[in-house]
Homo-oligomer: A and B are copies of this chain.
Amino acid sequence: MSKQALPVVDPDRVACCAPIAARPMDAEQAAAVAPMFKALGDPVRLRLMSMIASVPEMCVCDLTPAFDLSGPTISHHLKVLREAGLVDSERRGTWVWYQARPDALRQLGALLDLPGPSAPVSP
């Protein structure tokens, strides 16, 4: 399912990743990264993301019945996750399968790292 006309966030292209707490983030990087956080800022999408990231891939047909929401609504949320660059989708026969983009998750995680004394693992 390749799409090219949408304002999609491409995680490979987001300026990478000094932690938020390391130095003030510039406007450009903030604008690039914020949509990813925004996509995770809805409880339904957060659960969808979690369900998808917990397994190698996940069928929409297993995602939809886990919520008390209509099919179109789930589809809409999946689209938001896709356009944020957090998941990929692929149609195989009748069903559409979603998978997480680990790089995107890793990048967001890196942004939240603290330069803290929490893990002084320097040998």
Interface residues of A (CB under 8 A from B): 20-27, 30-31, 33-35, 37-47, 49-51, 53-54, 66, 100, 102, 105-106, 108-109, 112-114, 116-118
List the B side residues contacting A31 at CB < 8 Å: 43
List the B side residues contacting A35 at CB < 8 Å: 41
| Contact among B23, B37, B50 with A24 in the assembled complex (CB-CB below 8 Å) | B50
List the B side residues contacting A108 at CB < 8 Å: 112
- CB pair B112–A21 under 8 Å, yes or no, is no
Among residues of B, the one whose C-beta sits closest to the C-beta of A116 is B102
List the B side residues contacting A44 at CB < 8 Å: 30
- CB pair A20–B34 under 8 Å, yes or no, is no
